[in-house]
């Protein structure tokens, strides 16, 4: 029985909240366990003057944390699942995904209660190509600009007038007790989320049974099936944050099946391709691959190739 465990995390307030959440869950299950946070600065957090897609993607947020696992400074790493590549090094595995929080995006603005009421030419900030594509598809009168930084930094940029509105994940604002900043929550129909959005993931060494046994009770089975389907779509399309891909799966209680929706769009929002399918939870990965194939059959590869070439 282990007596202690060290959690690698980014230093941002939201990342620390997530690590603290995992620490509390571990304490609930193992009251005598010593749990230490190892907070690290990542390149993705430091280089805020460059678009994330130009830096090489959200893998920049996890590289330093994986290094801490490899060199023994930490035993597990806590991530937002949406930031994790769909293919992990053979050294690591997802030991647990926690029950999903709110997967929706949120509009934050001091000017309006909805996107449709923003004036033509209003500047909307987002670092996500997925959000850019869907925003411009539904609201071509808006101007979308890159924005980087943690949640509070982005809110400061909004409040100082650099942007008329910004789009953030609802769950991040909720976890930081910033509910009052949400002008409106965007439904799944308005803006399809990123694969894994709203899910906290716990990463560990693939060959460490003592760590796995500690964290497996944190795993939520239904969330696991759903995100497996979502990540399979992204993997089938070779997706990352450098391309506008969205996917969201949920369990339909009446049929006890996972229903998966996915989207690929151009950066200017003029081309949007969607696909939908369903299957039993045990076929989650097959379902994701099938939906990915549907998107490819509708021309997603052409859109993604164009995005990659820009």
Helices (H), 95-220: 129-138, 151-159, 170-175, 209-215
Helix (H, G, I), strand (E, B) or coil at 258: strand
Reply yes or no on whether 83 is catalytic: yes
Nearest-angstrom CA–CA distance, 302 and 287: 22
Q: Which of 45, 75, 83, 277 does the annotation list as catalytic?
A: 83
Contacts of 47 (CB under 8 A, 6+ apart): 55, 60
Helix (H, G, I), strand (E, B) or coil at 123: strand
**Measuring CA to CA, which residue among 85, 164, 144, 158 is closest to residue 266?**
144
Helix (H, G, I), strand (E, B) or coil at 230: helix
Nearest-angstrom CA–CA distance, 106 and 89: 33
Nearest-angstrom CA–CA distance, 222 and 225: 5
The structure tokens listed for 228 are 């497996």
Which residue carries 């993604």 as its tokens? 304
Residues known to be catalytic: 83
């Amino acid at each position: 029985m282990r007596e202690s465990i060290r959690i690698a995390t980014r230093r941002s307030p939201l990342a620390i909240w997530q690590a603290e959440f995992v620490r509390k869950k571990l304490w609930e299950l193992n009251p005598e366990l010593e749990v230490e946070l190892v907070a690290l600065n990542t390149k993705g957090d430091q280089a805020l003057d460059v678009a994330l897609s130009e830096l090489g993607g959200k893998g920049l947020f996890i590289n330093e944390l994986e290094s801490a696992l490899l060199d023994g400074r930490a035993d597990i790493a806590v991530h937002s699942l949406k930031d994790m590549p769909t293919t992990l090094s053979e050294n690591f595995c997802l030991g647990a995904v926690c029950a999903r929080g709110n997967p929706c995006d949120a509009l934050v603005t001091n000017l309006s209660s909805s996107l449709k009421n923003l004036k033509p030419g209003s500047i909307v900030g987002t670092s996500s190509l997925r959000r850019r594509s869907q925003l411009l598809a539904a609201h071509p009168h808006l101007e979308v600009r890159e924005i980087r930084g943690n949640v509070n930094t982005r809110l400061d940029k909004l409040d100082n007038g650099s942007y008329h509105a910004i789009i953030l994940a609802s769950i991040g604002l909720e976890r930081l007790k910033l509910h009052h900043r949400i002008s409106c929550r965007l439904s799944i129909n308005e803006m399809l989320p990123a694969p894994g959005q709203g899910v906290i993931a716990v990463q560990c060494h693939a060959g460490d049974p003592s760590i796995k046994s500690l964290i497996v009770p944190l795993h939520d089975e239904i969330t696991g099936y759903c995100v497996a389907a979502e990540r399979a779509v992204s993997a089938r399309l070779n997706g990352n944050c450098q391309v506008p891909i969205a996917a969201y799966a949920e369990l339909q209680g009446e049929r006890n099946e996972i229903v998966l929706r996915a989207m690929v769009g151009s950066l200017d929002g003029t081309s949007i391709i969607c696909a939908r399918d369903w299957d039993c939870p045990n076929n989650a990965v097959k379902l994701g691959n099938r939906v990915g194939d549907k998107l490819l059959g509708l021309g997603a590869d052409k859109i993604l190739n164009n995005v990659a070439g820009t």
